[in-house]
Homo-oligomer: A and B are copies of this chain.
Amino acid sequence: MNIKITLPDNSVRDYPKGTNAMDIAKSISEGLARNVLAAKINGEVRDLMRAIDSDSTLQLLTWKDDEGKNTMWHSSAHLMAEALEASFPGIKFWVGPALSNGFYYDVDFGGRSFSSEDFKMIEDKMTELAKQNNPYIRKEITKSEATAYFTEKQDQYKLDLLSNLEDGTITFYTQGNFTDLCRGPHIPNTGVIKAIKLLNVAGAYWKNDSNNPQLTRIYGITFPKKQELDEYIVMIEEAKKRDHRKIGKEMGIFTFDDDVGPGLPLWMPNGAVIIEELERLAKKTELMAGYKRVRTPHIAKESMYLTSGHLPYYADSMFPPMEFDGERYYLKAMNCPHHHKIFKELNPSYRDLPIRLAEYGTCYRYEQSGELFGLMRVRCLQMNDAHIYCSKDQFAQEFNAVNDMYLKYFKIFGIEKYVMRFSTHSPDKLGKKYVNEPELWKETEDMVRQVLIDSNIPYVEVADEGAFYGPKIDVQVWSAIGREFTLATNQVDFAVPGRFGLTFRNANNEMETPICIHRAPLGTHERFIGFLIEHYAGNFPLWLAPHQVTILPISEKYNDYAKNVLQQLINSDIRGTIDHRDEKIGKKIREAEIKKIPYMLIVGEKEAEEGTVSVRLHGQGDQGSLKIEEFISKVQREVKSMLEV
């Protein structure tokens, strides 16, 4: 008997019942069979070798797919565990998940020491085991058998995991000499893993609870090709040099303080310049695009978040309330409810739509202190936020305009690689994970997909990751050194406006609920500037550089002329400083180069007499002499051209 397999291009093929994804891959091409890592069958990721017994949709996952990578890294964690167990017999394992870049395993070494000095030995052992090309074998097992197995091994960790599992859902996976309690899925065999690198070792409390003993967490990463690992290592090394925390401190961009609190950056003058320039760009761009600005408080009553639905579900990510006047007030974790209130007060008709309300609103989100990381994971978020309220007819055009704004920004910031990750709903979770509006889901998802296709923007579609109230787009960008960042999220919201009772009078004189697009193309200042520091390695382009120009007098005799030049720069909205120290000009130039200031202006007797400046460009040397006003025009022209893309 045959079953029908529907492939992603909607072609349908017949296969005998009980076939598996690997066989299907082989039937398509040998090359595909060599590269395939796992299969997505009816939306669920599975082992390639599992039998398929009924008509199904099938996507073959390779290294290009996040879920393909994920599967390989999870299997690599098992491989590392096998190598560790071979080298340290009797050690115990807790959990070993895949991460967005690699994997880890938490290990109880039973008092024995393990350090990065042991990495080489384990990597070698993993390579040896990988070459054995051992299959990952799945076995369904009863709870009592599994319990007996781990009781025999005296493995309290796996017994603890088992205690939370239901009989009938339990599986073991075995590769080579290593067997693990695991839900899977896994790659077909260890031979796929061609390049291995252990990255880090750290202490981690069992179950993330500081009352429990510490386990040893070992991080690693693997690749299907040696060359990819080499590139990855280069990128990691470069990323270390460009670490935004290091450069941010050196350049006086931001700092943290114990009395203020973790995750709450203080923006130093040089960082505030970058913030002000980003806001100037955003405000100008939004003004030209027909946005209106608003300002809203950073707090609101509990009732607002009960209406929006953020409470009680999102309470863990919000700061705890302040209680007074018999009310609970919360720091806002998002700006939308405040904007909804303003939309309501505007009480618009269809002629006033779309209404685009923009605010650089600062939101506060509670993150576990262990999760905080430089500017990338913070508790204070200055968002390039706006909410667009429109009718269904206007949606495609508005959504398209938002995408255009992204593309404009990508050009300005030299972001060459990006992808829109389009998250949709899952029909079987309507009314649970997703608001129960099947028609609206289909309609808006179709509209979003069509805009993405029409505008030729690279995108991937991910089922079952939408927001509660509509489809979502995460914007992934890659920095100049090839590291991936999630910069911003767009959401289409066809549910919450109704909860707030938002309406507009339509052309038929009826009250209609608008759709709301949540968008923040520049994300938050915190994450975006963190990204830019790495992206530019601190060499900010002229328009963003904290100091655009430094004036270097040849000797103290010319300090007055330097001041005169500086005042002219300031009057022309150009950011300059003077190095008025009694130092040799060579030293001044070297230090200005280290500070990454785009322009150096050397001034001495000749310049003071002629009203000129000797121009040096960072990293490029002497550019000749210019009249002050010529230099000012040049800088203004360059800044303008950088922003008019």
- In the complex, what residues of B have CB within 8 A of residue A260's CB? 296-297, 299-301, 304, 338, 341
- In the complex, what residues of B have CB within 8 A of residue A364's CB? 298-299
Bound complex: CA A252 to CA B345 (Å): 9
Selected contact of A265 from candidates B297, B298, B570, CB within 8 Å: B297
Q: Which partner residue on chain B sits nearest A288 by CB separation?
A: B570
Q: Is A255 an interface residue (CB 8 A)?
A: yes
Q: Is A307 an interface residue (CB 8 A)?
A: yes
Selected contact of A300 from candidates B255, B261, B304, CB within 8 Å: B261
- In the complex, what residues of B have CB within 8 A of residue A345's CB? 255, 257, 266, 268
- In the complex, what residues of B have CB within 8 A of residue A269's CB? 292-294, 342, 346, 357
Once the chains bind, are B329 and A319 in contact (CB under 8 Å)?
yes
Which residues 272-321 of A sit at the B interface, judged by CB distance below 8 A? Answer: 272-273, 275-276, 283, 287-288, 292-301, 303-304, 307, 319-321
Chain A window 316-344, contacts with chain B (Cβ cutoff 8 Å), 1 for yes, 0 for no:
00011111110101010000011001100
Q: Is A362 an interface residue (CB 8 A)?
A: yes
Selected contact of A341 from candidates B259, B324, B327, B580, CB within 8 Å: B259
Once the chains bind, are A294 and B319 in contact (CB under 8 Å)?
no
Q: Is A542 an interface residue (CB 8 A)?
A: no
Chain A window 342-358, contacts with chain B (Cβ cutoff 8 Å), 1 for yes, 0 for no:
10011000010000010
Once the chains bind, are B298 and A362 in contact (CB under 8 Å)?
yes
- In the complex, what residues of B have CB within 8 A of residue A324's CB? 319-320, 366
Selected contact of A299 from candidates B261, B295, B337, B338, CB within 8 Å: B261
- In the complex, what residues of B have CB within 8 A of residue A366's CB? 324
Bound complex: CA A359 to CA B382 (Å): 14
Q: Which partner residue on chain B sits nearest A255 by CB separation?
A: B345
- In the complex, what residues of B have CB within 8 A of residue A325's CB? 369
Q: Is A271 an interface residue (CB 8 A)?
A: yes
Once the chains bind, are B295 and A271 in contact (CB under 8 Å)?
yes
Bound complex: CA A299 to CA B362 (Å): 11
Once the chains bind, are B268 and A342 in contact (CB under 8 Å)?
yes
Once the chains bind, are A266 and B283 in contact (CB under 8 Å)?
no
Once the chains bind, are A272 and B288 in contact (CB under 8 Å)?
no
Q: Which partner residue on chain B sits nearest A260 by CB separation?
A: B300
- In the complex, what residues of B have CB within 8 A of residue A351's CB? 580
How many subunits of this chain does the assembly comprise?
A: 2
Selected contact of A323 from candidates B257, B287, B320, B571, CB within 8 Å: B320
Once the chains bind, are A283 and B276 in contact (CB under 8 Å)?
yes
Q: Which partner residue on chain B sits nearest A300 by CB separation?
A: B260
- In the complex, what residues of B have CB within 8 A of residue A552's CB? none
Shortest A387–chain B CB gap in Å is 13
Bound complex: CA A275 to CA B296 (Å): 12
Bound complex: CA A174 to CA B341 (Å): 56
Once the chains bind, are A295 and B322 in contact (CB under 8 Å)?
no
Q: Is A267 an interface residue (CB 8 A)?
A: yes
Bound complex: CA A337 to CA B266 (Å): 11
Shortest A340–chain B CB gap in Å is 10
Once the chains bind, are B319 and A264 in contact (CB under 8 Å)?
no
Selected contact of A266 from candidates B298, B320, B342, CB within 8 Å: B342
Bound complex: CA A323 to CA B261 (Å): 12
Shortest A297–chain B CB gap in Å is 4
- In the complex, what residues of B have CB within 8 A of residue A297's CB? 260-261, 264-266, 362, 380
* Given A261-B301, A324-B366, also A252-B346 (CB < 8 A): yes
Q: Which partner residue on chain B sits nearest A581 by CB separation?
A: B351
Once the chains bind, are B261 and A275 in contact (CB under 8 Å)?
no
Once the chains bind, are B301 and A266 in contact (CB under 8 Å)?
no
Once the chains bind, are B307 and A295 in contact (CB under 8 Å)?
no
Once the chains bind, are B294 and A266 in contact (CB under 8 Å)?
yes
Once the chains bind, are B322 and A259 in contact (CB under 8 Å)?
no
What are the 3 A-B residue pairs with the smallest beta carbon separation, nearest first? A269-B292, A267-B295, A259-B304
Given contacts A260-B338, A267-B294, 16 further A-B contacts (CB under 8 A): A255-B341, A259-B301, A260-B296, A260-B299, A261-B299, A261-B327, A261-B329, A264-B300, A266-B345, A272-B359, A275-B295, A298-B331, A299-B364, A319-B324, A322-B331, A331-B331
Task: Name A residues whose Cβ lies closer than 8 Å to a Cβ of B.
Answer: 252, 255, 257-261, 264-269, 271-273, 275-276, 283, 287-288, 292-301, 303-304, 307, 319-325, 327, 329, 331, 337-338, 341-342, 345-346, 351, 357, 359, 362, 364, 366, 369, 380, 382, 525, 570-571, 580
